């Protein structure tokens, strides 16, 4: 995948009959395809392998084992692009990647980069990925289209061809989950000639999840710059699709140009907005400092409403509450403007145990919430945030964060959250 404008960074039988045959031969049957409408393959920490990484394609099993050991949930594997030979660039390696990934409990998403000039070729190669089967009958859990080529110079024609291809793919996969890998919304805003009138809303009608190529390393430096870049990209996507809860998996990087502080800011942006998941591009150029940060990305469910929240506006019950909201199990995040004085946070907590949930300000713990009532809501409780924990010239993030992580998220929640300034 290239950053807009296209700028290469790639340096470096039918199912029943087949299953019956595998059973007779004593081989494992193909795992089921992803359930219709499921976003499971796009949740949590991902890793990317493209066709320009010969070391990975020589040893797929070693790559998968390393990713699994690092906590990766989904491998995003390029099947081909519009200018390389073959429908599937490396059929044998692709089959091995699929089988090895499934054997280690990983999801695997195939992705293809169309040029949009030759739609017949783009259709054939997309379908080849969607229909691909390994010798053991394994298949991709989902398919995503890499939307970035500007070979078709006239934008209105480019959009027409993209939407024609998208309609074709939707017809072919039916209710199965489709991903749209799109250029950075903020990047397109900064380079308006690259893809003006990008069809966000039309794509939202045809794809189930957006994967944003938010390669901040091309555009900004430092943690604060990355935070601003990510916030703007996510805000644009939610606004332009008309869906504030649109499913998003954010892609950051490039990994070899991202400092530890920048990778940390990217991960915190994924958390602040409650995204399905996130990843850095790509696996071959990720350093130990990158892996140390991205392991904090959790396999969030689709959140409704999407974070971050505004105190006094979002006063409902959020968290992992039985019989109520379970779409914010990992953290509940509020955002407030610059503050120069102390703040008072008032809340009611659900089923809070001692040392279970921390209150973090700009991702630093300032308090641990006291225990409350078992299986019930407490009365109002108060935490005072000192001014020293707050930024007086930037937006502040205030988050309720349970200490346990997936898959051990506790039952917990907060409601009636208000944040008030104390003193002058």
Residue ranges per domain, the chain? 15-294, 318-421
Average pLDDT of 169-184? Answer: 97
Which pLDDT band holds residue 280 (cuts at 50, 70, 90)?
A: very high
Which pLDDT band holds residue 412 (cuts at 50, 70, 90)?
A: very high
- Predicted TM-score of the model (pTM): 0.91
pLDDT for residue 326 is more than 60: yes
DSSP per-residue codes, 31-60? PPPPPTT--GGGSEEEEEE-TT-HHHHH-H
pLDDT for residue 30 is more than 70: no
DSSP per-residue codes, 339-402? -SS-EEEEEEEESPPTTSEEEEETTEEEEEPPP--TTSB---EEEEEPGGGS-SSS-EEEEEEE
* CB crowding 209-239: b at 16 or more within 10 Å, else e: bbbbbbbbbbbbeebeebbbbbbbbbebbbe
pLDDT for residue 313 is more than 90: yes
Average pLDDT of 127-136? Answer: 98
Q: What is the pLDDT at residue 191? A: 97
Which pLDDT band holds residue 424 (cuts at 50, 70, 90)?
A: low
DSSP per-residue codes, 103-145? HTT-EEEEEEE--SS-HHHHHHHHHHHHH---TTS---SEEEE
Cα 152 to Cα 117, 156, 302, distances in angstroms? 6, 9, 34
Cα 330 to Cα 83, 202, 298, 399, distances in angstroms? 42, 31, 7, 10
Average pLDDT of 255-276? Answer: 98
Q: Check residues 130 and 24 and name the one with the higher pLDDT.
A: 130
User: What's the pLDDT tens digit per position in 46-94?
Assistant: 999 999 999 999 999 999 999 999 999 999 999 999 999 999 999 999 9
pLDDT for residue 29 is more than 80: no
Structure tokens at 277: 């998941």
Asked whether the beta carbons of 307 and 328 are under 8 A apart, the reply is yes
Asked whether the beta carbons of 369 and 360 are under 8 A apart, the reply is no
Q: Do the bridges between strand 343-350 and strand 381-385 make them parallel or antiparallel, or are there none, so unpaired?
A: antiparallel
Shortest CA distance to 143 belongs to which of 164, 121, 125?
125
Give the CB-side neighbour count of residue 420, counting CA atoms within 13 A.
10
Which pLDDT band holds residue 11 (cuts at 50, 70, 90)?
A: very low
Q: What is the pLDDT at residue 35? A: 53
Which of 6-15, 144-153, 300-309 is predicted with the least confidence, judged by mean pLDDT?
6-15
Residue-averaged pLDDT of the chain = 92
Average pLDDT of 368-379? Answer: 97
Shortest CA distance to 251 belongs to which of 268, 232, 270, 265?
270
pLDDT for residue 14 is more than 80: no
Q: To the nearest whole percent, how much of the chain has pLDDT over 90?
A: 90
CATH of 318-421, one of 3.30.70.2740, 2.60.120.260, 3.40.50.620, 3.90.1150.10: 2.60.120.260
CATH of 15-294, one of 3.30.300.130, 3.40.50.150, 3.20.20.80, 3.30.70.20: 3.20.20.80
Q: What is the pLDDT at residue 13? A: 28
Give the CB-side neighbour count of residue 279, counting CA atoms within 13 A.
29
Do 15-294 and 318-421 come out as alike in CATH topology?
no
Structure tokens at 55: 């070391």
Average pLDDT of 86-103? Answer: 98
Q: What is the pLDDT at residue 2? A: 56
Which pLDDT band holds residue 15 (cuts at 50, 70, 90)?
A: very low
Cα 376 to Cα 179, 187, 206, 311, distances in angstroms? 39, 46, 42, 22
Q: What is the pLDDT at residue 222? A: 97
Q: What is the pLDDT at residue 36? A: 55
């Amino acid at each position: 995948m290239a950053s807009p404008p296209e700028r290469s960074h790639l340096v470096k039988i039918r199912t029943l009959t087949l299953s019956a045959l595998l059973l007779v031969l004593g081989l494992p049957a193909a795992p089921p395809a992803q359930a219709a409408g499921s976003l499971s393959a796009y949740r949590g920490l991902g890793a990317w392998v493209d066709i320009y990484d010969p070391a990975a394609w020589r040893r797929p099993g070693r790559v998968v084992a390393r990713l699994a050991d690092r906590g990766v949930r989904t491998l995003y594997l390029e099947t081909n692009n519009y200018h390389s030979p073959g429908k599937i660039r490396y059929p044998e390696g692709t089959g091995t990647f699929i089988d090895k990934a499934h054997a280690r409990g990983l999801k695997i998403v195939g992705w293809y980069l169309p040029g949009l000039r030759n739609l017949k070729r783009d259709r054939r190669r997309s379908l080849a990925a969607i229909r691909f089967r390994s010798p053991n009958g394994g298949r991709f859990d989902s398919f995503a289209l890499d939307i970035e080529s500007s070979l078709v110079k006239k934008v209105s024609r480019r959009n027409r061809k993209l939407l024609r291809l998208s309609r074709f793919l939707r017809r072919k996969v039916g209710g199965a989950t489709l991903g749209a890998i799109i250029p950075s919304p903020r990047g397109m805003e900064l380079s308006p000639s690259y893809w003006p009138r990008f069809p966000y809303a039309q794509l939202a009608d045809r794809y189930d999840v957006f994967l944003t190529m938010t390669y901040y390393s091309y555009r900004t430096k430092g943690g604060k710059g990355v935070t601003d870049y990510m916030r703007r990209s996510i805000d644009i996507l939610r606004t332009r699709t008309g869906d504030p809860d649109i499913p998003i998996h954010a892609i950051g990087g490039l990994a070899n140009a991202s400092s530890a502080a920048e990778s940390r800011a990217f991960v915190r942006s994924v958390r602040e907005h409650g995204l399905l998941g996130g990843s850095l591009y790509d696996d071959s150029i990720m350093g130990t400092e990158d892996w140390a940060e991205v392991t904090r990305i959790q396999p969030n469910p689709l959140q409704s409403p999407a974070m971050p929240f505004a105190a006094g506006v979002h006063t409902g019950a959020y968290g992992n509450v039985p019989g109520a909201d379970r779409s914010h199990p990992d953290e509940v995040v509020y955002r407030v403007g610059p503050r120069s004085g102390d703040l008072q946070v008032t809340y009611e907590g659900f089923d809070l145990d001692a040392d279970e949930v921390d209150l973090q300000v700009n991702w630093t713990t300032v308090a641990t919430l006291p225990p409350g009532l078992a299986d019930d809501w407490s009365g109002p409780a108060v935490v005072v945030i000192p001014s020293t924990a707050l930024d007086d010239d930037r937006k502040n993030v205030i988050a309720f964060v349970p200490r346990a992580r997936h898959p051990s998220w506790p039952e917990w929640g907060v409601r009636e959250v208000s944040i008030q300034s104390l003193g002058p």
